């Protein structure tokens, strides 16, 4: 299969959409009266969008950076790829842990974990926008 060239504009647009989905999840964590079903719907939508975006990065972006001629860009790409793997693992554990029954039984714990995970996703999006995507333009 031929490797596709990354499209920084598309990847940034995906980031913008992901940031809106993260904000939508965060918004549902505020009410005192929990609505686990609604939160799970937003988490599912975020999970799907995130999986699609990560597939694009994994198949297009990282191979170009890591396999490119610029050793500094390759090092940054490898470092960010390792961070990506770690965050992806934590994201998957978060999704496995917080099933509907557990959310209903421990809303406060879910809110605490969810706020932390949403903050990590926001930070990763900002980090990629600041470090990773400018490298694509330079390559």
pTM of the entire structure? 0.88
User: Who has greater pLDDT, 109 or 133?
Assistant: 109
What are the tens digits of pLDDT across the range 75-129?
988 898 899 899 999 999 999 999 999 998 999 999 999 999 999 999 999 999 9
Residues in the chain: 139
């Amino acid at each position: 299969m031929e490797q596709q060239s990354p499209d920084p504009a598309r990847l940034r647009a995906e980031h913008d959409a992901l940031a809106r989905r993260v904000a939508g999840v965060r918004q549902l964590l505020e009410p005192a009266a929990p609505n686990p079903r609604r939160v799970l719907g937003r988490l599912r939508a975020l999970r799907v969008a995130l999986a699609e975006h990560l597939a694009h990065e994994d198949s297009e972006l990282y191979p170009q950076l890591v396999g490119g001629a610029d050793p500094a860009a390759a090092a940054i790409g490898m470092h960010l790829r390792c961070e990506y793997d770690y965050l992806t693992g934590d994201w998957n554990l978060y999704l496995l842990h917080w099933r509907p029954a557990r959310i209903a039984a421990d809303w406060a714990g879910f809110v605490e974990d969810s706020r932390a995970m949403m903050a990590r996703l926001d930070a990763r999006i900002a980090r990629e926008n600041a470090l990773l995507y400018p490298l694509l333009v330079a390559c």
